Amino acid sequence: MIQPLKLTLVAAAAASLLFTACNKDGAKTGPATGTTTAAVAGENANMPVAKYNDVTITLKDVDAKLAPQLKQMEKQKMELRQQAAEQIALEALAKAEAAKVGQTDDVWVKAQLESRLAPPAEAEILKVFEDNKAKMPPGSTVESMREQIIGFLQKDKSREVAMKLFEELKTKGNYQMLMEEPRVQVAAIGPARGPEGAKITIVEFSDFECPFCGKAEEAVTQVMEKYAGKVRLVFRHFPLNFHPHAPKAAEASMCANDQGKFWEMHKQLFANREALGIEDLKKHAATIGLDVAKFTECLDGNKMKALVEKDTKEGGEAGVSGTPAFFINGKLLSGAQPFAEFEKVIEAELKKGG
């Protein structure tokens, strides 16, 4: 069932927010190293907020403590404003197209989407019915469940079709987003793929125990394939405090990096996210052909602990509050976003000259 225009627009906008990520769970952050400004324009950074004994806590102190959270809030506010601007433009553009053929915007959008959305094959419908028959109400038949099955099969496809239609409308209407979020300067230090001096640098903060980080690797692989030679990917660590094996897994990857096999270990760890104990890590080292004795000395000796902690600290200062987090030429993209979201940012950067 095709939704009216406004609901479709809201659903399409929501799709860009439906990313999934492992989020920090009560983790404490230290003061940011950079300049921290008051959260609200016009506020005095030296304004007293609280006091204990003879010590005054200022707004600057509070904002420094909350630097990552405040940056994330600012990003969310920016995204909401951008989405609202896009929705205003799309409603007007759709209305103009509908008027050309004497239709309302809702009728026109519905017709456009239905014409582009191919019905699922009968074999697909039957397969879904058979696979899920045990979970359906007693006496259910293919015919009685047909509409729900079709809706299930078309859910993701209909969102893709709607997004494509709206992109066409924006292109035809010369739509431009003039409001951009500030870029964050993040050091591109760590294991890397892609040429130095590439037009696009992506700094990824990730956690080997986070399921969404593993899921995001599909989109990252697509990015590196499509934009080969134009993108440099730098991997940095952000093990979350509620993932007990993540810090040591991060260290293990850097011990592997010492032997020139970071990306092999990276692949092995994400493929075995449920097996990240110390002995598991040593088995993974053997699997990818490392010198296990040298690896064990590195891992048991905590040689990479400070490096992982440095990554985590700098990620927090840059505004990372969950994983995965990607800084594309300084623009933050949070969560396990689909390839299309990476593509959108990268294409925009390439048009600007990178």
Instruction: Give the pLDDT confidence score for residue 226 in this predicted structure.
Output: 97
| CATH, domain range 192-351 | 3.40.30.10
302 close to 233: Cβ distance less than 8 angstroms: no
The amino acid that residue 27 corresponds to is: A
> Which whole-number Å values give the CA distances from 342 to 134, 241, 328, in the listed order?
39, 27, 8
Write out the two tokens for 31. Answer: 């003061």
Comparing 49-53, 304-308, 349-353, which segment has the lowest mean pLDDT?
349-353
Alpha-carbon dihedral 179, 320, 202, 227, rounded to 10 degrees: -70
Ranges in the chain annotated CATH 3.40.30.10? 192-351
Distance (Å, rounded) from C-alpha 231 to C-alpha 22? 25
CB 299, CB 290: distance < 8 Å: no
Average pLDDT (327-351) is 92
For residues 174 and 168, give the distance between their C-alpha atoms in angstroms, rounded to a whole number. 10
Adjacent-strand bridge partners of 235 = 204
How far apart are the two ends of the chain, measured CA to CA in Å? 41
Written as six digits, the tokens of 346 are 């990268």
Q: What percentage of the chain has pLDDT greater than the value 90? A: 68
Please, where are the H alpha helices in the chain?
5-15, 59-65, 67-100, 105-116, 122-132, 142-172, 211-226, 246-258, 262-271, 278-287, 292-300, 305-318, 339-351
Question: Contact at 8 Å (CB) between 198 and 230?
Answer: yes
Of 6-15, 41-50, 183-192, minimum mean pLDDT range: 6-15
pLDDT value of position 30: 37
**Mean pLDDT value of segment 70-99:** 91
> For residue 207, which of 330, 322, 331, 346 has the smallest C-alpha distance?
322
| Most confident segment among 107-121, 173-187, 235-249 | 235-249
Residue 183 DSSP SS3:
coil
What is the structure's pLDDT at 66? 86
Q: What is the pTM of this model?
A: 0.66
d(CA 63, CA 39): 7
Distance in angstroms (rounded) separating the CA atoms of residues 248 and 227:
32
